[in-house]
């Protein structure tokens, strides 16, 4: 089978992929990704934006100025390193918290250095208290979100599915945060919106897969011919192409914002949101298929019903093998018996019987025994 033919069959869903039967492979990949992400969080850490740490933000309308010129004009007055981002035709400069007089001084210096009118330089001061309130509200929203999700999944499905979905969500959060740390992007309120969005997207994918598994495995009983793992893998294979297509369609516009909008068009304020969405969608699709589903199967296989089902199937398979082996042995012995005990042909019976065998003949006739063979009589 050629690669193109196999790819077409896979897209149509004609080829079943054994995902449930390879949990060690998927867990190993996830462990490597999590270790990489934790290393990023410990080594580089998250770069929280001014909305969380507090500071001053200057918006400078100088499209012809370079990033070095803007940074030099600001840093020479603040005495610290600032963060400069491109925001369309403007520059967005973030510094530490400044007083009102210091803000006015920086504005005048930027106007002189970059030859920009003062009224085209806006300033905004964000207090650290406001940033702390934003962080607290974000954590509260996340906790409430997770509680509602667990409650819904436990009622709509069962606690095992809720547990598997929560592990997948934690998996997605750690990996996305780690990649965000390695990238060095600022954590802004838009980043939090992206995180909440990917959590919802990951749950959507998991719910679709779990719903199909629930439907396929519902008729299983002790007399079924397939195990829970096999039934779950069939359900996952039937939704695999659908999940991948959905993710691909959702990623395309996000990738456009991340790679084209922020790089070519200079929309720097969008890259915080787009990076979180881009990474989270990919990782969320992977976790719902390769992490949540195998974990759910491992939990379900411990139930007494499915343990008994697996044992019954194993006994039936072993019995079928024994019967097949015994049937082959009987057929082989029977053929040997037929060869050894072959009945003599009626035409040869008198010759094999010899002179000692009495053969009935017609009355008044006497049958003489043959003397020797035809060749001996000729001689």
DSSP state of 90: E
Poorest-pLDDT segment among 42-56, 157-171, 227-241, 358-372:
358-372
Task: Locate 21 and state its tokens.
Answer: 């039967």
Gap between the Cα atoms of 156 and 162, Å rounded: 9
Site of tokens 């790819």: 7
The dihedrals phi and psi of 48, each to the nearest 5 degrees, come to -70, 140
Please check the confidence at residue 160 and state whether its pLDDT lies above 80.
yes
Query: Helices 128-156 and 159-183 meet at what angle, rounded to 10?
Result: 150
Please check the confidence at residue 311 and state whether its pLDDT lies above 50.
yes
Residues 6 or more apart whose Cβ sits within 8 Å of residue 139: none
The dihedrals phi and psi of 267, each to the nearest 5 degrees, come to -85, 75
Poorest-pLDDT segment among 7-21, 179-193, 294-308:
7-21
Tens of pLDDT, residue by residue over 254-291, are: 888 777 766 665 555 577 778 888 888 899 889 988 99
pLDDT of residue 239: 83
Per-residue pLDDT band for 89 (boundaries 50, 70, 90) equals confident
pLDDT of residue 115: 79
Per-residue pLDDT band for 15 (boundaries 50, 70, 90) equals low
pLDDT of residue 33: 94
pLDDT of residue 38: 94
Per-residue pLDDT band for 130 (boundaries 50, 70, 90) equals low
The dihedrals phi and psi of 195, each to the nearest 5 degrees, come to -65, -45
CA 48 to chain centre: 29
Q: Which residue has the higher pLDDT, 25 or 365?
A: 25
Poorest-pLDDT segment among 2-6, 110-114, 252-256:
2-6
Is there a contact between 285 and 243 (Cβ–Cβ < 8 Å)? yes
Mean pLDDT of the chain: 76
Four-residue CA torsion sign, 312, 317, 322, 323: positive
Is there a contact between 277 and 197 (Cβ–Cβ < 8 Å)? yes
Q: Which helix (H) or strand (E) holds 8?
A: helix 3-12
Closest CA to 94 of 157, 149, 52: 52
Is there a contact between 240 and 289 (Cβ–Cβ < 8 Å)? yes
CB atoms under 10 Å from CB of 206, counted, come to 30
Tens of pLDDT, residue by residue over 52-61, are: 777 788 888 8
β-bridge partners, 95: 56
β-bridge partners, 55: 126
Q: pTM to 2 decimals?
A: 0.71
DSSP state of 80: S
- Integer-rounded Cα Rg, in Å, for the chain is 40
Three-state SS at 59: strand
Gap between the Cα atoms of 301 and 228, Å rounded: 7
Closest CA to 315 of 223, 196, 186: 223
Please give the span between the terminal C-alpha atoms of the chain, in angstroms, as a whole number: 73
What would the DSSP string read from start to end of 98-153? Answer: --HHHHHHHHHHHHHHHT--GGGEEEEEE-HHHHHHHHHHHHHHHHHHHHHHHHHH
Poorest-pLDDT segment among 70-74, 88-92, 317-321:
88-92
Please check the confidence at residue 126 and state whether its pLDDT lies above 70.
yes
Is there a contact between 290 and 26 (Cβ–Cβ < 8 Å)? yes
Is there a contact between 187 and 52 (Cβ–Cβ < 8 Å)? yes
Please check the confidence at residue 347 and state whether its pLDDT lies above 60.
no
Q: Which residue has the higher pLDDT, 153 or 29?
A: 29
Sorted by where each starts, the structural domains of the chain and their CATH numbers stand as 17-47+130-311 (1.20.1640.10), 55-126 (3.30.70.270)
β-bridge partners, 161: none
Per-residue pLDDT band for 35 (boundaries 50, 70, 90) equals very high
Please check the confidence at residue 334 and state whether its pLDDT lies above 60.
no
Helix and strand numbers (H, E) in the chain are 14, 6
Closest CA to 237 of 22, 9, 17: 17
């Amino acid at each position: 089978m050629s690669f193109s033919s196999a790819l077409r069959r896979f897209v149509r869903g004609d080829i079943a992929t054994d995902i449930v039967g390879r949990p060690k492979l998927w867990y190993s990949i996830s462990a490597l990704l999590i270790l990489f992400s934790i290393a990023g969080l410990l080594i580089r850490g998250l770069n929280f934006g001014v909305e969380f740490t507090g500071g001053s933000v200057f918006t400078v309308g100088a499209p012809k100025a370079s990033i070095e010129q803007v940074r030099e004009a600001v840093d020479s007055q603040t005495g610290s390193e600032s963060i400069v981002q491109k925001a369309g035709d403007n520059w967005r400069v973030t510094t530490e918290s400044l007083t009102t007089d210091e803000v006015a001084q920086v504005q005048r210096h930027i106007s002189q250095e970059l030859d920009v009118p003062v009224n085209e330089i806006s300033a905004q001061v964000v207090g650290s208290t406001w940033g702390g309130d934003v962080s607290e509200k974000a954590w509260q929203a996340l906790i409430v979100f997770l509680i509602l999700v667990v409650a819904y999944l436990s009622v709509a499905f069962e606690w095992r599915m809720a547990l598997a979905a929560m592990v997948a969500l934690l998996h997605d959060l750690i990996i996305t945060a780690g990649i965000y740390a390695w990238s060095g992007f600022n954590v802004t309120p838009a980043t939090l919106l992206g995180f909440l969005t990917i959590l919802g997207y990951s749950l959507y994918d998991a719910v679709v897969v779990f719903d199909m598994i629930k439907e396929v495995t519902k008729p299983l009983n002790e007399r079924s011919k397939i195990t829970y793992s096999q039934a779950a893998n069939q359900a996952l294979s039937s939704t695999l192409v659908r999940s991948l297509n959905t993710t691909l369609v959702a990623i395309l516009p996000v990738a456009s914002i991340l790679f084209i909008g922020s790089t070519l068009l200079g929309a720097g304020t969008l890259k915080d949101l787009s990076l979180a969405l881009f990474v989270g969608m990919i990782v969320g699709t992977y976790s719902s298929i390769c992490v949540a589903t195998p974990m759910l199967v491992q939990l379900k296989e411990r139930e007494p019903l499915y343990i008994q089902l697996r044992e019954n199937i194993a006994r039936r398979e072993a019995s079928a093998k024994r019967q097949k082996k015994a049937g082959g042995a009987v057929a082989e012995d029977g053929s040997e018996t037929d060869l050894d005990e072959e009945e003599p042909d009626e035409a040869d019976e008198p010759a094999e019987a010899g002179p000692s065998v009495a053969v009935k003949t017609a009355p008044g006739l006497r049958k003489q025994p043959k003397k020797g063979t035809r060749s001996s009589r000729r001689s």
